[in-house]
């Protein structure tokens, strides 16, 4: 089973950009849909973006659409999240997640993901 680990979090100011990366440890990365989730202090975990196994389908939660871009490189077992125009409400622990692919699309239902990283903290200050 694949294992994943995030890196690239940090502290930025409002309006700035930050990129997160996630590396998968095992082969068969392209058997998985991949997603980014986040959890802010005192709030429930929410889905941010997901990408199909091929990368041809992506889905974003409304609050990040147009500001965040999810992508993957199956040859390198890598998942990315480009975040632009960051807002203070984007402050959270961001998690990379993998789940078995069962079609050409993806969903942001956390129960469909069975592999989770340890998280990367993103802080956006005003």
Using a pLDDT cut of 70, give the percent of the chain over it.
100
Report which of 73, 75, 86, 79 is spatially closest to residue 117, judged by C-alpha positions.
Answer: 79
Rounded Cα gap, residues 71 and 56, in angstroms: 9
Which DSSP letter does residue 104 get? Answer: S
Per-residue pLDDT tens digits for 56-72: 999 999 999 999 999 99
Tracing tokens 């993998």 back to the chain, one arrives at: 98
pLDDT at residue 26 greater than cutoff 90? no
Per-residue pLDDT tens digits for 2-25: 899 999 999 999 999 999 999 999
């Amino acid at each position: 089973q694949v294992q994943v680990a995030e890196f690239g979090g940090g502290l930025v100011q409002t309006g700035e950009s930050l990129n997160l990366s996630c590396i998968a440890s095992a082969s068969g990365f392209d058997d998985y849909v991949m997603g980014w989730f986040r959890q802010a202090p005192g709030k429930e975990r929410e889905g941010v973006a997901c990408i199909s196994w091929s990368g041809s389908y992506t889905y974003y939660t409304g609050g990040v659409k147009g500001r965040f871009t999810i992508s993957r490189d199956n040859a390198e077992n890598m998942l990315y999240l480009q975040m632009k125009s960051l807002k203070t409400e984007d402050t959270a622990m961001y998690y990379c997640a993998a789940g078995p692919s069962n079609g050409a699309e993806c969903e942001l239902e956390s129960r469909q993901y069975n592999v989770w990283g340890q998280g990367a903290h993103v802080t956006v200050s005003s």
